[in-house]
Structure 1
Amino acid sequence: MFLRTVAMVGLAVGVIACGTVAINNVQNAPVSTASGKAPTAAAVRGAILQAGAGLGWVMTDVKPGVLEGKLALRSHTAVVEIPYSEKSYSIVYKSSTNLNEANGSIHKNYNGWIQNLQRDINAKVSALN
């Protein structure tokens, strides 16, 4: 009986672990426009807001040069901090609900949401004049 219990607990831990991956933070992603002109920090902020809104993220200003993004899907919530300037931006994990975050790992869907946000921010920044 004891071995069966140990095996069941091991299986449950393995199933949970298979659905998690290391948290992907975007650190100092360079800002570059297609025209080669340097954008203002305000323009970068606008690009981040547009990209987030298009993907369902709710963005709020935390302080100058820092946004907080929140994505709520079904019973899952992810919160990130997005510091930005005219030269770069980052997307850093802040908190989550129902995404099995523990010890630097999180539900595998989280990284996809961050990759989509980064891709759309890059596209919006690239389109700046």
Structure 2
Amino acid sequence: MKKLCLVLAATLVLSACSTSVPIRNFDSNPVPQTANKTHTADSVKTNILKACMKLGWTCRASEDGKILGKLDIRKHQLRVDINYNATEYSIDYKDSINLDYDGDKIHRQYINWVSNLVRNIDAELAY
């Protein structure tokens, strides 16, 4: 019984320390349109590129309505596809290096980096 309790406790501790989270995309983020400011696809592209640059992402337009974003931090690299138009944008996982991606899960920092990018894109689009 003691061994079973120890095994269960060890399993709980190890699972709490997990560095992987389920992979998710950030789809259909609305582009704010107000009476004072309406966006075009070009203005959305410009604001996305500004937000990327401010956060240290390397981003380049790969075709109309699509930007390839890359973030290099220490030994980690993350690449995302950013699809956009005048009314919405989405950020989708493309690939990574040293982020323990296994098809379903990825290093927990992925969510933080992409959420931060979404917040900064939203801030740029709001101005």
Both proteins in one fold, TM over 0.5 = yes
Distance (whole Å) between structure 2 residues aligned to residue 114 and residue 50 of structure 1: 15
Shift of 1:36: 5.3
Counterparts of 2:35 and 2:51, CA distance in 1: 19
Aligned to 1:109: 109
- Asked if 2 retains the 8 angstrom alpha-carbon contact of 1:34 and 1:126, the reply is no
Give the TM-score of the pair, scaled to structure 2. Answer: 0.84
Instruction: After TM superposition, list the pairs within 5 Å mapping 1:112-123 onto structure 2.
Output: 112-123=112-123
The equivalent of 1:31 in structure 2 is 31
Give identity over the alignment, percent: 36
Which structure has more RCO (C-alpha within 8 Å, separation ≥ 6)? 1
CA contact (8 A) 1:69 1:82 kept: yes
Secondary structure in structure 2 of the residue aligned to 1:78: strand
2:86 alignment partner in structure 1:
86
Alignment match, 1:42: 42
Q: How far apart are the structure 2 equivalents of 1:87 and 1:36? A: 15
Match of 1:18, SS state, is coil
8 Å CA contact 1:76–1:97 kept in 2: the answer is yes
Aligned residues, how many? Answer: 116
In structure 1, runs of 5+ residues without a counterpart are 1-6
For 2:4, the equivalent position in structure 1 comes to none
Structure 1 residue 34: Cα displacement = 5.6
Letter in 2 for 1:52: C
CA shift, 1:33, in A, is: 4.3
Letter in 1 for 2:88: S
Deviation by residue 1:24-45 (Cα, 9 ceiling, x = unmatched)? 2110110004655320111000
User: Bigger shift: 84-93 or 22-31?
Assistant: 22-31
